[in-house]
Amino acid sequence: MSSRPQTGKTISNPVIPGFHPDPSICRVGEDYYLACSSFEYFPGVPLFHSRDLVHWAQIGNALDRPAQLRLPLGAPSSGGIYAPTLRHHDGRFWLIVTNVSGDGNLLFTATDPAGPWSDPIRLTGVHGIDPDLAWDEDGNCWCTVAGVSQFRIDPHTGETFGPPRRLWSGGPGAKAPEAPHLYRIGDYWYLLIAEGGTERCHGVSIARGRTPGGPFEPCPDNPVLTHRGTEHPIQNTGHADLVQAPDGSWWMVLLGVRPGGGTPGWHVLGRETFLVPVEWVDGWPVVGELSTDLPAPPWPLQPHTAVPGLDDFDFSDLAPYWVSPRRRSPEDCTTKERPGRLTLRARGGSLDDTDVTFVGRRQQHLSCRARALIDVAEGSGGLAVRLDERHHYDIEASPGEVRVRARIGPSNTVVASRPVPPGPVVLRIEVTAVQTVNDARTGPDTVSLGVEEPDGTFVELTSLDGRYLSTEVAGGFTGRVIGMFAATGSVHFDWFDYEPIGD
């Protein structure tokens, strides 16, 4: 095994924290680009840029127009957009995804990954999720999907040629062979897949063959990465993609989760994007140790470009990290009605419904604080921590009162209320990760909701157990999103502030 130079420094892993699953990566020159799944949220498929694989800045969302992303109001949470593959070929960027809530497999192109991206090319003959793209030496384009099967396609028209062919599908008896990625590396074609399901048994396996269609020889050391059956702080590791750096070194991005609390462990941020080094030994990849403190790459790191925590809504367009369930119309969400304010207009649906006016950002830290100044003279609304329609905590303001509501499955309860003086009010949510597990039933964190006095004092109305806003309780594939909503009429937000606590 070759020895990788060490800098003596470490970096924080995940490199893209919070609900950023199913990472797919490509490099063009010295620039790296990465895309993630977005499920029921609009705009869809967040896109990131990095020069060092460590510090990532969101440059946009590939699917930012209704013509690109059709999500019907009946689309369930954890439906929508699954598992993009991002590639650069013949001077263009190519993005292929599955919209499981209606349109199937779709292909988009762009000359600049920051956009604009094309309208979709529909791949009506390609059936399956997690589509991948690869081109062979003859210019044939191969689309490989979970299962694992493969189609030859015309990426310009979406036409398929011939029936699909079955490929190697992982180890004997392993469930859910998915997330295939096909690469030409040296003398072989390598087929990288995930298997075992995207929960605790998730893993990464690989096989190689002389042609894109195989036959494929599995790696004798499969799975090449998994944390199943361990107490490692990073679990559910899988759905990986490979990239080679300009210095010739190889790296893997993958998803994982950080469970907290006691048994069985609850992850609340969703599946996050991690980075790990890869060495090649006897023609097979050997994955390095995956840790929350990863040895830094042996090249200069770029300045950290953290997402700003405070948004005072002075720009006409919302920053790319703001997302909404299923749709966002300028009639219901605008910064142009009142300059320097975000105006949300209720559509008649509450947070319990699929048609709700909600704008949020992914929770990216285990402990964090979110605050917003809201004017409810023309309606009611507030702040919420959302996992889905049946699992959310919110603090809602109306003229003269604020109240906290907890939706946990079939239970929908106002758990606290308090009178407030007329005028705008600062609402506040604090998430505090549990540091000490007192017994096996200890939850992962607490969510405190309340108001802020003019001097900054936090008046907590209640504190709730965070486990009920976790994937282990709610199910699905997403993570928490913290944001603003309108319940009735119109509400106006002067600013929103998000900041980590102690991370």
Nearest to 462, CA basis, from 413, 410, 389, 390: 413
Q: Per-residue pLDDT tens for 425-480? A: 999 999 999 998 989 999 999 999 999 999 999 999 999 999 999 999 999 999 99
Q: Are residues 284 and 321 in the same domain?
A: no
- State which of 237, 263, 295 marks the end of a domain: 295
**Active site annotation includes 178:** yes
Q: Per-residue pLDDT tens for 313-336? A: 999 899 999 999 999 999 999 999
Encoding tokens for residue 134? Answer: 């690869």
Q: Are residues 109 and 165 in the same domain?
A: yes
Q: Per-residue pLDDT tens for 268-309? A: 999 999 999 999 999 999 999 999 999 989 999 988 767 779
- Say whether pLDDT at 176 is over 60: yes
Residue 3's pLDDT band (cuts 50, 70, 90): very low
- State which of 272, 295, 318 marks the end of a domain: 295
Q: Are residues 162 and 126 in the same domain?
A: yes
Q: Categorise residue 104: left if φ over 0, alpha if ψ from -120 to 50, beta otherwise.
A: left
pLDDT the model gives residue 8:
62
pLDDT the model gives residue 307:
74
Q: Are residues 289 and 337 in the same domain?
A: no
Q: What CATH code is carried by the domain that includes residue 366?
A: 2.60.120.200
Q: Are residues 259 and 340 in the same domain?
A: no
Q: What percent of the chain has pLDDT over 90?
A: 92
Q: What CATH code is carried by the domain that includes residue 232?
A: 2.115.10.20
Is the residue at 303 inside a domain?
no
Q: Are residues 279 and 172 in the same domain?
A: yes
Q: Per-residue pLDDT tens for 397-426? A: 999 999 999 999 999 999 999 999 999 999
Catalytic residue among 40, 52, 130, 178: 178
- What gap in Å lies between CA 481 and CA 46, rounded to an integer? 14
Q: Per-residue pLDDT tens for 122-136? A: 999 999 999 999 999
Residue 108's DSSP bridge partners are 95
Is the residue at 73 inside a domain?
yes
Is the residue at 334 inside a domain?
yes
Q: Are residues 84 and 112 in the same domain?
A: yes
**Cβ(342)–Cβ(492) below 8 Å:** yes
Domain hosting 479: range is 310-500
SS (H, E, C) 259-307: CECCCCCECCCCCEEEEEEEEEECCEEEECCCCCEEECCCCCCCCCCCC
**Active site annotation includes 247:** no
**Cβ(431)–Cβ(445) below 8 Å:** yes
- State which of 295, 320, 341 marks the end of a domain: 295
Q: Are residues 435 and 458 in the same domain?
A: yes
